[in-house]
Amino acid sequence: MNAIISAAALASESAGPRPPVLLDVRWQLGGPNLRSEYAAGHLPGAVYVDLDAELAGPPGSGGRHPLPDPEAFGAVMRRAGVSADTPVVVYDGGLGWAAARAWWLLRWAGHRDVRVLDGGLAAWEGELTTEVPDPAEGDFQPKPGGIGLLDADGAAALAREGLLLDARAAERYRGDVEPIDRVGGHIPGAVSAPTSENTTADGRFRPAAELAERFTRLGARTAPAVGVYCGSGVSGAHQVLALELAGVEAALYAGSWSEWSSDESRPVATGPAPQ
């Protein structure tokens, strides 16, 4: 099962005998949710899901977007019509990060048929609607463990013994700037690999062969294990998805830099080199 779907393929599937459940996960970092944009127009049948309130737990020592309580997440998905045997397609405004967060959470929670709309809403050429659907209750019950998850100690170990990729912008990795978290820099041993380099200018993923070449250069093919972190577990999920497209299995450090940097006992490296 491919982790992404084109707008044309989604239109075809939505008109077919087994249409996917559609989740609209439009989101902006540090701002109010984008429910108003959803209300102004969304894919027919799509249900809005709030990343900050429904795809994350309350911010705190576990980071800005810690994992949500599995039962609470399951309730949100069931209200959206998600069942264990129904395909799910998630989309956002086009960047893909928020959609990837929803994709990763569903995969982690045990759903096997979930894809991201490649290019997001910007790629959709069909009509939009303002009608808010009232889907039948789904039966999805989360079973955490469907995809790799790292805690802070696991991320530190992987940086030493495998390959830990830092998905943030290079200037944040180096510690030149830090607009959000307590301090700039990176986990010692982590390798800079900005998520933005996985997509083209229109927000679509680069071809799988190009992604495979990129991650091979970064050492993903020869590392005993691969992990990813970012600022708070959102763009890092997008990188895990890109790695999957390239044929590489990777775990996500969900707390990411927002958790790591909030703990003053954790070491911080700066500069362009991993160490």
Q: Give the residue numbers annotated as catalytic, written as ranges.
A: 230
Provide the residue type at 252 as one letter. Answer: L
In the block, tokens 């982690």 appear at 108
Rounded CA gap, 212 and 208, in Å? 6
Closest CA to 242 of 29, 97, 109, 26: 97
Provide the 3-class DSSP secondary structure of residue 115: strand
Sign of torsion, CA 197 202 204 207?
negative
Helices assigned H by DSSP within the chain: 7-14, 35-40, 51-54, 70-79, 97-108, 152-161, 170-174, 208-217, 235-245, 256-260
Please choose, from the candidates 167, 183, 181, 112, the residue with its C-alpha nearest in 3D space to the C-alpha of residue 145: 112
Cβ proximity of 257 and 229 under 8 Å: yes
Main-chain phi, psi angles of 224, to 5 degrees: -65, -25
